């Protein structure tokens, strides 16, 4: 828990708002939320905390307990409308911008002390949202994060906002909905860090996966996951932009591309599609295995998920 003395030392007064946002680990359903498929994350005891308070000034002051993240001040009124690549405080400003857009509200100065930069925090601190459902808050968080350029699907925000004690969540999209998945009593999960870190919003690589999956999916609308997997084998492993425009039309290709992927001239379709549709099937099977208490099957599915990511979605830093 962040000591309020730290806040007072930085800003000269005590906080009036404290929010805790749990961390999350995705058990299965990697890189498919932005294609609209269900995921199965769970919350962690470790998380992130925010302290905030109005400051009576025409400024927003954002500080971090970690000294490597420098304090930032935004004068008001501000026309901030996003940043690419983003700094750490831009994720906080995403949430602020989301609130302003939602409420069409006046810009009010405040002080804010954080342990990490999470869009979800900023939106939770605004008590005006007490009459809005958690699902609506999660949707708003996901949309707001687009201000830093990532075309995410909303899993992170939904997991953080909808998390419950004692269980995982099956989260589906369009519309956003969730249900508790009870894990077998003997299930234990170890989370390991591979040692590599990456700011996903700093480059176009994350969004490249998004648009390649969108393009591959244009040929598979209205079909079952099993049928989609079969169709994958008919997709080219890699296709040029010209080939895709001839196959789908220039308008469809342009619609699939995000602003920071407009420069792409080649797209990996088959490997992306193979992962998306097989992973969506694994999520369904994993939920069934949880209900049946089949730990071995759960482990096999998680292993297959990691294998698919390694083969079809090589690390973004490579």
Angle at 139 between CA 135 and CA 141, to 5 degrees: 115
* Annotated active-site residue in 33, 90, 139, 156: 156
Active site residue 284: no
Beta bridge partners of 52: 17, 112
Q: What is the dihedral of CA 65, 71, 72, 73, to 10 degrees?
A: 100
Closest Cα partner for 211 from 29, 24, 11, 34? Answer: 34
Which residue numbers are catalytic? Answer: 156
């Amino acid at each position: 828990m962040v000591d309020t003395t730290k806040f007072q030392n930085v800003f000269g007064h005590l906080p009036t708002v404290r929010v805790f946002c749990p961390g999350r680990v995705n058990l299965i359903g990697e890189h498919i939320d932005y294609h609209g498929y269900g995921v199965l994350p769970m919350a962690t005891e470790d998380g992130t905390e925010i302290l905030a308070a109005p400051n009576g000034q025409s400024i927003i002051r954002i500080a971090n307990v970690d000294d490597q993240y420098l304090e930032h001040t935004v004068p008001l009124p501000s026309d901030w409308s996003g940043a690419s690549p983003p700094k750490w405080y831009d994720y906080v400003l995403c949430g602020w911008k989301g609130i302003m857009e939602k409420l069409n509200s006046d810009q009010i100065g405040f002080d804010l002390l954080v342990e990490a930069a999470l869009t979800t925090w900023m939106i939770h601190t605004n008590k005006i949202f007490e009459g809005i459902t958690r699902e609506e808050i999660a949707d708003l968080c996901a949309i707001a994060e687009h201000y830093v350029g990532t075309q995410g699907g909303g899993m992170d925000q939904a997991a953080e906002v909808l998390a419950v004690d004692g269980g995982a969540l099956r989260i589906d999209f369009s519309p956003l909905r969730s249900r508790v998945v009870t894990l077998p009593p003997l299930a234990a999960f170890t989370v390991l860090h591979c040692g590599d870190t990456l700011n996903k919003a700093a480059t176009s690589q994350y969004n490249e996966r998004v648009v390649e999956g969108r393009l591959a999916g244009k040929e598979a609308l209205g079909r079952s996951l099993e049928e989609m997997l079969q169709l994958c084998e008919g997709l080219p492993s890699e296709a040029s932009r010209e080939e895709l425009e001839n196959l789908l039309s220039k308008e469809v290709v342009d619609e699939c591309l995000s602003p920071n992927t407009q420069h792409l001239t080649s797209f990996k379709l088959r490997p992306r599609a193979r992962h998306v549709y097989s992973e969506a099937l694994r999520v369904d099977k994993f939920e069934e295995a949880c209900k049946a208490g089949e730990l071995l099957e759960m482990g096999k599915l998680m292993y297959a998920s990691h294998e698919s990511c390694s083969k079809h979605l090589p690390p973004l830093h490579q």
